[in-house]
Amino acid sequence: MSTTGLRDRALLERARRVLPGITQTYSKAPDQHVQGVYPVYLERGDGCRVWDMDGREYIDYPCALGPVLLGYRDPDVDAAVREQVDRGASFSLGHPLEVEVAELLVGLIPCAEMVRFVKTGSEATSAAVRLGRASTRRDHVAMCGYHGWHEWCVGHTARNAGVPQAVRELTHQWSYNDVDSLRRVFDEHPEQVGVVIMEPVGVEEPQAGFLAAVRDLAHERGAVLIFDEVITGFRMAPGGAQELYGVVPDLAAVGKGMANGYPLSAVVGRSDLMELVTAATYVSGTFAGDAVALAAARATLEKLRREPVCEHLWRQGAAVRDGFNRLAAAHGVPARMVGLPPRRVMELTPQGGVEPNVLKGLIWQGCIDRGVLLGNANFISFAHDDEVVARTLVVFDEALGETGRAYQAGRVAEALRGIPPGEVSRRP
Ligand SMILES: Cc1ncc(COP(=O)(O)O)c(C=O)c1O
């Protein structure tokens, strides 16, 4: 039975004094997990496993919120990184790897004719929005999900203090799988919407014809279509969800999995739009050409081309998702894993006044006690082999059995030893 270890707790106390929110990403914060049961810190990783500060080992499914595509410490990526560290990280002029990695991306991603590197997913989506606005000379943005922390994106969320009112008024929400809701945004702001940005697939799958209808509507109304493939890129298919669904946007933002955990992202797309980077506007970063991250990206992308990485993610992700769903049903736990196999979340539908997050917390507690770390978004890596998936299903069986007994006895809250995970408060 796991409770937070001594070293972990001591560090958390120090963190409370110097780090607002404790972690640097909302999704990694203690209140997103079972507080008092989950560790707050992970010290190292290897393959599909991670270790906390007190030496406990877990099979890891959040995969660092998506970046770990091949597994922690992938030997090919690490060798490339070591070699580059010996040559230097940042230089006074451009570095050859910028060209090489850009060529790899152009070869992989259907919409990519040119590439501009940045560092984070938020920067990549923001750069794409900047280019879309620059090309259409229109300020308004139609969006339908989370695309990062920058002003255009968080302006209309509950946490928009610090975002000028004038900026908040330029972004409009529409609903996934609802083309009419996008049409309404265009109708309500005629000739003003220059950019439509969306994740091509999130947890919900696109209905037949939906993505093509969005593309056609955006173009008909004179807007640029951006796919945010920060999560879906390199996971749903080597060329991202645009390859999977055969709908090609004007621009795309990629990040997360591109360098297997090293910080690198990019905006990619049509040359005429990409050329605006220097012709009309400004997207520039001191660290954007960081050769260590670029070396990691080259090794990651080459492996993606060489090995059946995405097939593996689909097969093992399906085994985890379907196995969980079968066992939850067998133990009478109203929980399901939903989403495409490479990226899954847990959906809870308890009855009788049981809070969904409390039930979720009890399932997660049962899993972490037995060495499986789950989070709000669960991925899978090339390092999750058959043996690991089989072990995961044994853990699910035991954790769901325990949860089912507590649920049927009406004592879910009593069985939870910590504070249940809160809602993911960063989503718009
Ligand atoms: C779909 C999507 N776009 C953009 C981002 C922002 O990426 P980053 O956190 O690297 O800035 C995220 C982060 O989770 C994301 O899920």
Is 427 part of any domain?
no
What residues does ligand 1 touch, defined as CB less than 6 Å away? 65, 120-122, 125, 146-148, 199, 228, 230-231, 255
Residues 167 and 251 in one domain: yes
* Number of domains the chain contains: 2
Residue 344 alpha carbon to ligand 1 centre in Å = 16
Shortest-distance Cα residue to atom 15 of ligand 1: 147
Shortest-distance Cα residue to atom 4 of ligand 1: 147
Residue 160 alpha carbon to ligand 1 centre in Å = 17
Averaged in consecutive runs of 10 residues, what is the pLDDT profile of the chain (428 residues)? 82 96 94 96 98 97 98 98 98 98 98 98 98 98 96 90 96 98 98 98 97 98 98 98 98 98 98 96 95 98 98 98 98 98 97 96 98 97 98 98 98 97 59
Residues 65 and 113 in one domain: no
> pTM here?
0.97
Residues 197 and 257 in one domain: yes
| CATH code for position 211 | 3.40.640.10
| CATH code for position 26 | 3.90.1150.10
Which atom of ligand 1 lies at the shortest distance from residue 122's CA? 11
Residues 118 and 219 in one domain: yes
Residue 128 alpha carbon to ligand 1 centre in Å = 13
pLDDT at 46: 98
Shortest-distance Cα residue to atom 16 of ligand 1: 231
Which atom of ligand 1 lies at the shortest distance from residue 148's CA? 6
Residues 237 and 348 in one domain: no
pLDDT at 423: 60
Domain that holds residue 407: 6-72+308-415
- The 3-class secondary structure across the chain, one letter per residue, is CCCCCHHHHHHHHHHHHHCCCCCCCHHHCHHHCCECCECCCEEEEEECEEEECCCCEEEECCHHHCCCCCCECCHHHHHHHHHHHCCCCCCCCCCHHHHHHHHHHHHHCCCCCEEEEECCHHHHHHHHHHHHHHHHCCCEEEECCCCCCCHHHHCCCCCCCCCCHHHHCCEEECCCCCHHHHHHHHHHCCCCEEEEEECCCCCCCCCCCHHHHHHHHHHHCCCEEEEEECCCECCCECCCHHHHHCCCCCEEEECHHHHCCCCCEEEEECHHHHCHHHHCCCCCCCCCCCHHHHHHHHHHHHHHHHCCHHHHHHHHHHHHHHHHHHHHHHCCCCEEEECCCCCEEEEECCCCCCCHHHHHHHHHHHHHHCCEECCCCECCCCCCCHHHHHHHHHHHHHHHHHHHHHHHCCCHHHHCCCECCCCCCCCC
Residue 230 alpha carbon to ligand 1 centre in Å = 6
Residue 416 alpha carbon to ligand 1 centre in Å = 31
